[in-house]
Amino acid sequence: MIMQTITIPEQLTKEKDLMIISRREYNDLLCTKKKREKTSLDKELDESIKEYRQGKVIGPFSSIRELRKSLEK
């Protein structure tokens, strides 16, 4: 059995960590990362839901008078 050897240039291994994975695994990792990344809109929505559950939200109001009365408190 002949063992193949690969020489990796030093410029590629500056950080001392090098991993070799298949293209399929790499693509799967990218897809997973994209699914987990949240947009700023997602983050704002999560924060809004959190505030709603904590009771920090007021409204809805059926008139301007109700809104003004709420803001005067």
pLDDT, averaged per 10 consecutive residues of the chain (73 residues), comes to 76 76 89 77 86 84 87 78
Burial zone of 67 (CB within 10 Å; 0-12 exposed, 13-18 middle, 19+ buried): middle
Q: Which pTM was predicted?
A: 0.36
Distances (CA, A) of 30 to 16, 19, 34, 63: 22, 15, 6, 49
pLDDT of residue 15: 73
SS3 57: coil
pLDDT of residue 1: 66
Note whether 69 and 61 are within 8 A (CB).
no
